[in-house]
Amino acid sequence: MGFISSRGKIHVDGHKDLTLHSEIHEIKDEKTIGKIYISKLAANGKEIKFDVEVGDEVKMGQRIGERQGFYVPIFAPVSGKIVDMENRYSCAIGRPVSHLIIENDFNYTPAEKLPILDYDKATKEEIISHIKEAGIVGLGGAGFPTYVKYENVTGIKTVIINAIECEPYLTTDYHAIKNYLELFVKGVNLLKRAAGADNAIIAIKKGKAELVAKIKEALKSSKNIEIKELDDKYPMGWERVLVYEIMHKDYNMLPSEVGVVINNASTAIAVADALLNGNPITKRLLTVSGNAIKNQGIALVPVGTPVSGIIEHFGGYTADQVVLLVGGPMVAKGMMNDSFVIEKPAGALTVLVHEEIKASPCLRCGRCTLMCPASLQPVEIKLAVESKNIDRLEALKANSCIECGTCSLVCPSKIEVTEFMRKAKLQLKIAKARSMPKKN
């Protein structure tokens, strides 16, 4: 299926300078991380079966349960005592969810390390099974279990490491690579071997010469790993766009169809830290930025830290009405409140001044269609959504939308076109589930 066109990439104002030169703030105060919360539901809605209960003492990095569905073990981010269960809003689920509460004893008593691999001798199978047992999930936002991309997958020629970070405000991967460069390079090597790939390509945006020089130096003893510097255009970091840009190939469902597997740069670091140092993911690096928070910076917090404390740590909100996003402004949706906690895939908090935007009628200018990187016709999909025309939505391939936000951004009438794409997918999903009679 032809899918991604080479058109539809635009430069968006990155606001990266707000955090590009920040130091990492490791947040350690009792007010913010005195209690750590672990959701009972994973991002995909699957239950986490805890094997600890209220009253138990836990060590940092101790296995405390596992996710149902795709197997993912869960580890305690801090040491302390499990004191209660509590309902809190979950940003991943979008409603209140029961959370396990660990009262942090601030001793950071370590649990037994994960089994450590011999970096030089580990086989493909050993690397994949260790990634699985370490509970590594994608840290680029999706939180998909990393081993699933490698286990029983054959024919992979190239591993692409996504360090593009094309969303405005986000600099998490930039800081992660800069601060954990040795782990990053080892992680890329391990993922290349896990895939049985011929080569690995680190994709990074142009304009980061200093970091690129450091990566090149660190890669000197690595074979068949190259850096590809790509234009500073949005949505360059989206998997389909990235594969098209680098490999000049489209795929239907998964990059593996064209011999490619993609992992985020921070995920590569997490893989190396788990497999070579025995550390599961207990902390999360994240960009805290935007025009409605007093200070901006890079935070390092235990997984399960309440967002309200992080906001306070960075000086609090500077506007009465704000939009709080987990991620960047192109894709993330506004949160209902800040009582939720940071989960593993959350790499950014962006806080923006709420602006009332009044949309005007569609001009039929065609800019959304012209700029869509997936070669869709957003304006036609919008009309089909409004008339609930399921046949038309199918014909227009609405499900192929990657929700990149470009159509909303370029619309001169300020219409939230992307919202219509989400509604289109929902209508298609409901129609499929209920086998609704289709409208002619």
Interface residues with ligand SF4 (CB under 6 A) are 362-368, 372-374, 376, 378-379, 401-407, 410-413, 415, 417-418, 421
Considering beta carbons, is residue 22 or 399 the nearer one to ligand SF4?
399
Minimum distance of ligand SF4 from residue 254's CB (angstroms)? 18
Considering beta carbons, is residue 148 or 362 the nearer one to ligand SF4?
362
Minimum distance of ligand SF4 from residue 368's CB (angstroms)? 3
If you compute the radius of gyration of the chain from its CA atoms, what whole number of angstroms results? 22
Considering beta carbons, is residue 47 or 416 the nearer one to ligand SF4?
416
What residues are paired with 67 via a beta bridge? 48, 72
In angstroms, the CA 274 to CA 221 distance is 22
Report how far Cα 434 is from the mean position of its chain's Cα atoms.
31
Considering beta carbons, is residue 148 or 383 the nearer one to ligand SF4?
383
Task: Annotate 154-186 with b (16+ C-beta within 10 A) or e (fewer).
Answer: eebebbbbbbbbbbbbbbbbbbbbbebbebbbb
Minimum distance of ligand SF4 from residue 36's CB (angstroms)? 35
Considering beta carbons, is residue 45 or 366 the nearer one to ligand SF4?
366
User: Are the beta carbons of 337 and 323 closer than 8 angstroms?
Assistant: no
Strand order in the sheet with 225-230: 225-230, 199-205, 158-163, 260-264
Considering beta carbons, is residue 318 or 375 the nearer one to ligand SF4?
375
Minimum distance of ligand SF4 from residue 412's CB (angstroms)? 6
Considering beta carbons, is residue 12 or 411 the nearer one to ligand SF4?
411
User: Are the beta carbons of 367 and 7 closer than 8 angstroms?
Assistant: no
Minimum distance of ligand SF4 from residue 265's CB (angstroms)? 23
Considering beta carbons, is residue 161 or 332 the nearer one to ligand SF4?
332
Considering beta carbons, is residue 78 or 381 the nearer one to ligand SF4?
381
Minimum distance of ligand SF4 from residue 403's CB (angstroms)? 5
Strand order in the sheet with 57-58: 35-39, 95-104, 80-90, 57-58
Minimum distance of ligand SF4 from residue 169's CB (angstroms)? 19
Give ∠ CA 204-206-212 in degrees, rounded to 5.
Answer: 60
Residue 323: count other Cβ atoms within 10 Å of its Cβ: 18
Minimum distance of ligand SF4 from residue 4's CB (angstroms)? 9
Considering beta carbons, is residue 307 or 410 the nearer one to ligand SF4?
410
Q: How many CA atoms lie within 13 A of 66 on its CB side?
A: 11
Minimum distance of ligand SF4 from residue 239's CB (angstroms)? 12
Considering beta carbons, is residue 125 or 231 the nearer one to ligand SF4?
231
Minimum distance of ligand SF4 from residue 369's CB (angstroms)? 7
Minimum distance of ligand SF4 from residue 236's CB (angstroms)? 13
